[in-house]
Amino acid sequence: MEHNSFKLPFVHLLCLLLLCPLVSCQLNYKFYDYTCPNLTKIVRSGVWSAMRNDSRMAASLLRLHFHDCFVNGCDGSLLLDGGEKNAFPNRNSARGFEVIDDIKANLERACPATVSCTDILTLAAREAVYLSGGPYWFLPLGRRDGLTASESDANEQLPGFSEPLENITAKFTSKGLELKDVVVLSGAHTIGFAQCFTFKSRLFDFGGSGEPDPLLDTALLTSLQSTCPNQDDSDTKLAPLDSASSSKFDNLYYKLLLNNSGLLQSDQALMGDNTTSSLVLNYSKFPYLFSKDFGASMVKMANIGVLTGQNGEIRKNCRLVN
């Protein structure tokens, strides 16, 4: 009897140890309830103010969160000066850092040395989507901030705008995500803009052919060639990722893909695979399904490689380690 009474708790403990990495045991939905009860209110106010001043800011904050989590986990490393900020996918395009700085400053006044920059960015991305008309999802909190940032890791680990679907999928699965998450999280492109250099080859010299991408909708092609003429000084001009509703978080992105009107090559590539194209069709028909799945995928992404407990730190300044 004594042997059996010892064995049962041991088995339970073993199960917990095995499951903890999967469910992020040290993250908690009530993590700041007592130490910083106005956290959500302060973050939402900061994001709302930024969005009123800049209609592109919602997409920028969402992209910051994505680019942070995909490089060695969600640890706020992208917020550190140098390092990942200088990587090709972020240089001269990642923006919204000052919004996180302002929110952090307000939180330091309300609850000093309590809320990590990583949790601030995670919450800011959710609020940006919600305030743009998109879904709201509940987040377990308690992430801590990383101590390093790697430019080379960002160059290697972030999906590229012209990469084939299989490469992008491999990068997602390496983070514990699935093919479905590729399609769902690509739906973030229902808001925001892209610089012309990210898709200009589709307009004039697709695959070195000297011709436009034959899959690109003709009307969209004509419009984009006007916005992004085939000259170097147009590289940094902007075009909406979702030409129908670039500031409203909805499912029109998927309808555009069905019409061969995806802006980025990586977007339109979702129609070249039976599994992903089926998901695109479903999300184009059922906006509530997209909203539900988007929230679920965002929670999964926000749990990639998080630091908790005594790992990492709570930065005083999101741009610098303590």
217 is in an annotated binding site: no
75 is in an annotated binding site: yes
Closest to 49 (Cα-Cα) out of 93, 106, 91: 106
The residues near 25 (Cβ < 8 Å, ≥ 6 apart) are 16, 19
In the residue annotation, 67 being an active-site residue is answered as yes
Candidates 3, 12, 65, 67; catalytic one = 67
190 is in an annotated binding site: yes
214 is in an annotated binding site: no
210 is in an annotated binding site: no
d(CA 51, CA 1): 64
73 is in an annotated binding site: yes
Q: Which residues pair with 80 in a beta bridge?
A: none
d(CA 308, CA 79): 18
Amino acid identity of residue 182, one-letter, is: V
Tokens of 236: 């940094």
The residues near 43 (Cβ < 8 Å, ≥ 6 apart) are 103, 107, 120, 123, 124, 127
Angle CA 19–178–149, to nearest 5:
75
Closest to 283 (Cα-Cα) out of 214, 182, 161: 182
Q: What is the DSSP string of 78-134?
A: GGSSSGGGGSTTTTTT---HHHHHHHHHHHHHHSTTTS-HHHHHHHHHHHHHHHTT-
How many CB atoms neighbour CB 30 within 10 A? 9
84 is in an annotated binding site: yes
Q: What is the DSSP letter of 214?
A: T
Annotated binding site for heme b: 189
> What amino acid positions are annotated as catalytic residues?
67
Annotated binding site: 68, 71, 73, 75, 77, 84, 159, 189-190, 242, 250
Annotated binding site for substrate: 159
